[in-house]
Structure 1
């Protein structure tokens, strides 16, 4: 048990979070998983439990009590975290709206979920991070490109990117990465393009997960990476 690596992944009931959890499970990692939808999270846990030790706790990452519960279970299990993946995100209203038409209440939800909650979670997990732990904050190309109607989501991810860079400077004992997975065939991407056929987009397991696994399994400087990242960039 002690020599097994441990990861915490938010938003792990489906999409990128689930695909990454499944990949780590096959490699024997201990897993702590979060998601808002309890029924989907239980199904994910039951599937992954066939390969490794997994704890699943449903809740909203905007809920401070829920974040404390995640830290509490790690302390109870006496695990140390080798990896934290802040993957839980919300797109905002769909169809997406121009910023001047975007409901302010929804702006609060998007910015809190995508930008504030990852920092709050890391504050609570800090006592349980192993030296050299890797923290991967899931970003988006909307963080660096000004797409119309993507202001709320893109702005939240741009803020997360910048805070990830600052965290890297402030905490050299850990490795911080902002990771842009690119377009993926997920429910969130479909919500961004309601009614459109997105079947030509890759599944998370096809490009994004292999790229993240490259970051996890190699000695690679902290920074911002995309799913086009390759092992040749390892040092």
Structure 2
């Protein structure tokens, strides 16, 4: 049976990915800062707490995943975070937090997964959940944008290195998606500006030519395909799921 480890799986895009892969018969390991036990119970998955910015925590979580569910066939690096600030007020601490969680974390997880993926008989998959911020710039999130550009660079480099071992490495780049993070952002705009919720939401949807937020299931469907045998020749790609925003 195929075994996928999904980081940041407790909610939003990560939870949608878990449900999509489960529906295809995947065995799952779900990670988060706290073990996502409720979703794991729903999907008969293994849940483990992991701090992906800490090499020892990553090593321990991957070892526990193998012991519980067997060797990995796929890694989905979904966990991430965003903090906002004008560039001139971005502190070194904030800069490092964004690089640690959005770039170093996937780096550590990829290294931990590679031995299993290389041994997966041409079925090994890495899917990095990047962002449209890996493809273009956004004001006031310089550290986040830099980290996501770095994640795309890592994706492309690994795709070249791992191709001979039958492992594909791709990035999925969602635009603003209907998740708790975006809903919290809308609430902050309402609180700071006095705008209505509809007006605040419009600020998040205006860059999408379809005029709407992406849905987590739409991102998950792309990941599901990339993890399938049908996508065996898709490698080193950055697939934007954003209604055409990056055009």
TM-score (norm 1): 0.84
* Structure number with bigger Rg: 2
| Kept in 1: contact 2:172–2:219 (CA 8 A) | no
Structure 2 matches for 1:61-76, cutoff 5 A?
61-76=52-67
Is the aligned partner of 1:117 residue 2:128?
no
Name the SS for the 2:73 alignment partner: strand
* 8 Å contact kept, 1:85–1:136: yes
CA distance in 1, matches of 2:103, 2:59: 18
Task: Tell me: CA distance 1:202–1:164, structure 2 relative to 1, closer, same or farther (3 Å).
Answer: closer
Q: Distance in 2 between matches of 1:81 and 1:59?
A: 16
Match of 2:222 in 1: 211
* CA offsets 1:15-46 (integer angstroms, 9 cap, x no match): 111011011112221101101134xx122112
* 2:39 aligned with 1:44: yes
Instruction: Tell whether the 8 Å contact from 1:75 to 1:128 is kept in structure 2 after alignment.
Output: no
Note if 1:221 corresponds to 2:214. Answer: no
Aligned residues: 216
Specify the SS of the correspondent of 1:81: coil
Alignment partner, residue 185 of structure 1: 178
The answer to which structure has the higher helix fraction is 2
Tell me, yes or no, if the aligned pair for 2:8 and 2:32 is still in contact at 8 Å.
yes
Gaps of 5+ in 1: 230-235
Distance 2:41 2:88 in 1: 43
Q: Which residue of structure 1 aligns with residue 95 of structure 2? A: 107
Go from structure 1 to structure 2 and tell me whether the alpha carbon gap of 1:215 and 1:78 turns closer, same or farther (over 3 Å shift): closer
Q: Which runs of 4+ in 1 moved over 4 A?
A: none
Q: TM-score normalized by structure 2?
A: 0.81
1:63-87 CA deviation, whole Å, 9 max, x = no partner? 2222011221244247222211000
Deviations 1:161-180 (A, max 9, x none): 01111111111121000111
Query: 1:167 and 1:192 mapped to 2: Cα distance?
Result: 33
Per-residue deviation at 1:191?
4.2
